[in-house]
Amino acid sequence: MNVAVKIKTLLQEAELYRSQGLLQEAIGKYRAAADILQKVDKVKNRDAYLEGIARKIRAVEKELDAFLHAPAAPEMTAAVQDLIKEKFAFAKDADSQPLEGAIALAKFGQYGRALEEFRSLLSKESVKVAAAKNIIRCHISRESFDEGIEEFRRWDADGLFSLQQLENLRVFFQGVLDKRGIEKTVEIAQSDAVSFQEIDAPELDLQLDQGDAGQEEELLDISSIGVLMEDGPQAGERVEFDVSFQSGKEISLLIPSREKGMIEHLRAGTKLNDIEFYSPFAMFQGAGIVTSNTKIATGPKRGDFSLDIKVTST
């Protein structure tokens, strides 16, 4: 094909792709045309043509940039929020259903409305702890840490939760703040604060209805987990791990070699009966089983351990 025809064809294709909103493809075609043009010596006004193409590329890049930097979750109208709340809550029981609706709002980044919905659930005993943890999550996502701490203090002052529940929430909140390197302290003002114990309050299954017992339920994207160690040097403590990989209900953790003492107690087949799962939008509890525990033999993580856990219930 004649070089001039080739360049013209590429430029036409670039324009067509741009009109289709296929901006990367358009940029690719413009660049291909410019590359050919640059290699051809005897072209009248070559520099002007190249500058023209460069201008086009800059314009398309600007469009692409506007898209890539658009707000990820702009505030929606109340009608859209109602739709999200209604259509993305699948639980059948009266308490779990609104909680799921509120979680869906948070997942779609509608934190303001989600907070309102979670707060309205604080009066329902069966879901109030889960609602409170999700309120904390919303504050973390919005980076309104002080507001979150203030809200926690109000729960404390109003006696909304039992001391055990409040301590559970405090540990959760402080853990997330510490993990993100936020130097703020969450404290219980009540003088007779208890030591942390697992609460008996019913934990909500955030993973939707359990009607289809045979089906594998969705597991949210998990960023980290907190395992209540039953054996070993940290028995009775909740130890947090970052999740390095997740595929459905299988999660993988990387554990540094210095934790060898603990690793001994996380052999394949070990049941982990009390795990807290932390996702960007929600925190929930469950159980799992260690499916493999491998010492990494090569590469920069040599000597560390790779632990695979299958989540058995949430």
Partner 1 sequence: MATINLKKKEIEAKIVYYGPGRGGKTTNLEYIYKTYKKQVAGDMVSITTEGDRTLFFDFLPIGLGKIRGFDVRVALYTVPGQVQYSSTRKLVLKEVDGLVFVADSLQVRREKNMISLKDMAQNLKDYGLNVFKVPLVFQYNKRDLAEEGFPILTVEQLDKDLNRQLKVPSLPASALKGDGVGATLKECLKLTLKSLKSQFQEGS
Question: 276 forms bridges with which residues in the sheet?
Answer: 226, 285
Under rule CB under 8 A, residue 210 binds partner 1: no
Query: Interacting stretch for partner 1, rule CB under 8 A, among 126-134, 149-157, 210-218, 294-302?
Result: 210-218
Is 215 among the residues that bind partner 1 (CB under 8 A)? yes
User: What is residue 1's three-state secondary structure?
Assistant: coil
Q: Other C-beta atoms within 10 Å of 32: how many?
A: 16
Instruction: Tell me which of 6, 31, 90, 291 binds partner 1, using CB under 8 A.
Output: 90
Residues 228/275, Cβ–Cβ less than 8 Å: yes
**Residues whose CB is less than 8 angstroms from the CB of residue 55 and which lie 6 or more positions away in sequence, other chains included:** none
Taking CB under 8 A as the criterion, the residue among 7, 10, 17, 175 binding partner 1 is 17
The minimum distance between CB 205 and partner 1, in angstroms, equals 15
1 forms part of the interface with partner 1 (CB under 8 A): no
3-state secondary structure at position 274: strand
Residue number, 116 or 218, with CB nearest to partner 1: 218
CB neighbour burial string for 95-126, b if at least 16 within 10 angstroms, e if fewer = bbbbbbbbbbbbbbbbbebbbebbeebbebeb
- Residue 83 interacts with partner 1 (CB under 8 A): yes or no: yes
Backbone torsions φ then ψ of 200, nearest 5 degrees = -95, -5
Taking CB under 8 A as the binding criterion, the range among 10-18, 51-59, 116-124, 232-240 that sits at the site for partner 1 is 10-18
In the stretch 43-72, what mask flags binding to partner 1 with x, by CB under 8 A?
--------------------x--xxx-xx-
Rounded to a whole number of angstroms, the minimum distance from the CB of residue 184 to partner 1 is 27
Give yes or no for a contact between 96 and 104, defined as CB atoms under 8 angstroms apart.
no
DSSP symbols for 188-245: --STTPPPP----SPPP--S-----TTSPPP-PPP-EEEEE--SSTTTT-EEEEEEEE
Cβ–Cβ under 8 Å, residues 89 and 104:
yes
Least Å distance, CB 76 to partner 1, is 7
The CA-CA-CA angle for residues 70, 114, 172, to 5°, reads: 105
**With binding defined as CB under 8 A, does residue 223 bind partner 1?**
no
Stretch that binds partner 1, among 35-43, 100-108, 116-124, 182-190 (CB under 8 A): 100-108
When asked if residue 221 is in the footprint of partner 1 (CB under 8 A), the reply is yes
Binding partner 1 by CB under 8 A: which of 3, 4, 16, 59? 16
Where on the chain is the footprint of partner 1 (CB under 8 A)? 12-13, 16-17, 20-23, 25, 28, 63, 66-68, 70-71, 74, 76, 79-80, 83-84, 87-88, 90, 104, 107-108, 208, 212, 215-219, 221, 248
